[in-house]
Structure 1
Amino acid sequence: MLRIPVNEGENIERALKRYKRKFVKTTVKNQLQERKQYTKPSIARRAQVQKAQYVQGLRDLENI
């Protein structure tokens, strides 16, 4: 659970902005999206391999 202390005299909009920033940084949003729909392990593994191939291709292009 995220807690954002609101200081005295602090604007609520500023506190909400801090909350949103903290929410994104803690990757809670990504976890919620992953839980929304089940992904088979084989498909997750395939996506991981494809991402690794893509990154490796980018690194190869940098070395040329």
Structure 2
Amino acid sequence: MLKIEVNSGENIERALKRYKNKFNRTGVRRELQARKQYTKPSIERRAQLQKAEYVQGLRDAEQA
């Protein structure tokens, strides 16, 4: 369970924003969405390769 300590005089909206950021960094939401539907391992690997190619292309374009 995530715990966020609210500092004295801190706005509740600011504390909620910190909580949301911390929750997103844990990856729980992403994992839950991934578990909703089964994806074959070959499809997951293909997606990883496509992402890696895209990122490599961005890096190459940045260096050129």
Identity of aligned residues (%): 74
How far residue 15 of structure 1 moved from its aligned partner, in angstroms, is 5.3
- Structure 1 ranges of 4+ moved more than 6 A: none
Q: Give the residue type in structure 2 aligned to 1:56.
A: Q
1:21-61 deviation per Cα after TM superposition (whole angstroms, max 9, x unaligned)? 32112111111111111110000000000011101111111
Q: Could you tell me the TM-score, scaled by structure 2's length?
A: 0.70
CA distance in 1, matches of 2:12, 2:49: 44
Q: What residue number does 1:46 align with?
A: 46
Q: CA RMSD in A?
A: 2.2
How far residue 11 of structure 1 moved from its aligned partner, in angstroms, is 7.3
Q: Could you tell me the TM-score, scaled by structure 1's length?
A: 0.70
Unaligned stretches of 5+ residues in structure 2: none
Unaligned stretches of 5+ residues in structure 1: none
SS in 2 for 1:30: helix
| Aligned residues between the structures | 64
